């Protein structure tokens, strides 16, 4: 491989790494199927989501948005999908790690705040020594806590 080719392949792999992955409704096996099958659909999954967290993107594939809600794992999006993209038998946790940023979290910075604790129905946010919230392994990545953090300290890593 010539030096220039090597350089451009390194740059493109770096760009791919930096690209944020799209969060999908938690009922798929193969990411590629979104791109082939969703183009035939009019975005039905987004119309049945009780939490209104499914957005249809320009490429016609669905994306989860946790700004105002979280996933209840209710199965409705999979039930309505006619193109075998979302299937109930492929149900899984959302493919993301939810984290608390200790730099921006009020509590970690000694300002009393428990805003994220109660909205988490899975009891996945534990407060150590009262001021140190940590997300434990019970987290299902449902995203509900994100909207309640007043300082935007709950982040998604995928
Ligand atoms: S209902 Fe199925 S095919 Fe239609 S946009 Fe949603 S995932 Fe794609
Ligand atoms: S499982 Fe239910 S709440 Fe979650 S994205 Fe699908 S329709 Fe929405
Ligand atoms: S900590 Fe995890 S399980 Fe609890 S609300 Fe946040 S994303 Fe959902």
**Within 13 Å of residue 132, how many CA atoms lie on the same side as its CB?**
2
How much is the pLDDT for 14? 38
Q: Please tell me the predicted confidence (pLDDT) of residue 74.
A: 98
What is the Å distance from ligand 1's center to 73 Cα?
16
pLDDT at 122: 97
Q: What is the pLDDT of residue 158?
A: 77
**Cα 47 to middle of ligand 3, angstroms:** 24
pLDDT score, position 4: 44
- Give residue 99's pLDDT: 97
Pocket around ligand 3 at a 6 A CB cut-off: 70, 98, 119-120, 122, 124-125, 135, 139-145
Q: What are the residues whose beta carbons fall under 8 Å from the beta carbon of 113, sequence distance 6 or more?
A: 105, 106, 107, 150
Ligand 2 pocket, residues with Cβ under 6 angstroms: 25, 48-51, 53-54, 71-77
Protein residue whose Cα sits closest to atom 2 of ligand 1: 81
Could you give the angle at the alpha carbon of 13 between the alpha carbons of 158 and 37, nearest 5°? Answer: 60
Q: Residue 42's pLDDT is what? A: 96
The per-residue pLDDT for 3 is 45
- Asked if residues 53 and 63 have their Cβ atoms less than 8 Å apart, the reply is no
**Ligand 1 centroid to 18 CA: how many Å?**
26
Q: CA-CA-CA-CA torsion for 76, 77, 80, 85, nearest 10 degrees? A: -140
Q: What is the pLDDT along the chain (158 residues), one digit of tens a residue?
A: 444 444 344 334 433 343 468 999 999 999 999 999 999 999 999 999 999 999 999 999 999 999 999 999 999 999 999 999 999 999 999 999 999 999 999 999 999 999 999 999 999 999 999 999 999 999 999 999 999 999 999 999 97
pLDDT at 153: 98
């Amino acid at each position: 491989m010539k030096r220039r080719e090597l350089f451009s392949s390194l740059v493109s792999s770096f760009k791919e790494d930096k690209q944020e992955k799209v969060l999908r409704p938690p009922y798929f096996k193969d990411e590629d199927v979104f791109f082939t099958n969703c183009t035939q659909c009019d975005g039905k999954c987004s119309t049945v989501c009780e939490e209104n967290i499914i957005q249809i993107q320009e490429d016609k594939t669905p994306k989860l948005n946790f700004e105002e809600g979280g996933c209840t794992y209710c199965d409705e999006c999979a039930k309505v999908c006619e193109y075998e993209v979302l299937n109930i038998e492929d149900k899984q946790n959302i493919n993301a790690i939810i984290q608390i940023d200790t730099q921006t979290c009020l509590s970690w910075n000694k300002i009393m705040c428990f805003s994220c604790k109660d909205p988490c129905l899975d009891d996945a946010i534990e407060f150590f020594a009262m001021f140190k919230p940590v997300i434990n392994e019970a987290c299902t990545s449902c995203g509900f806590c994100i909207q309640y953090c007043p300082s935007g300290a709950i982040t998604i890593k995928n």
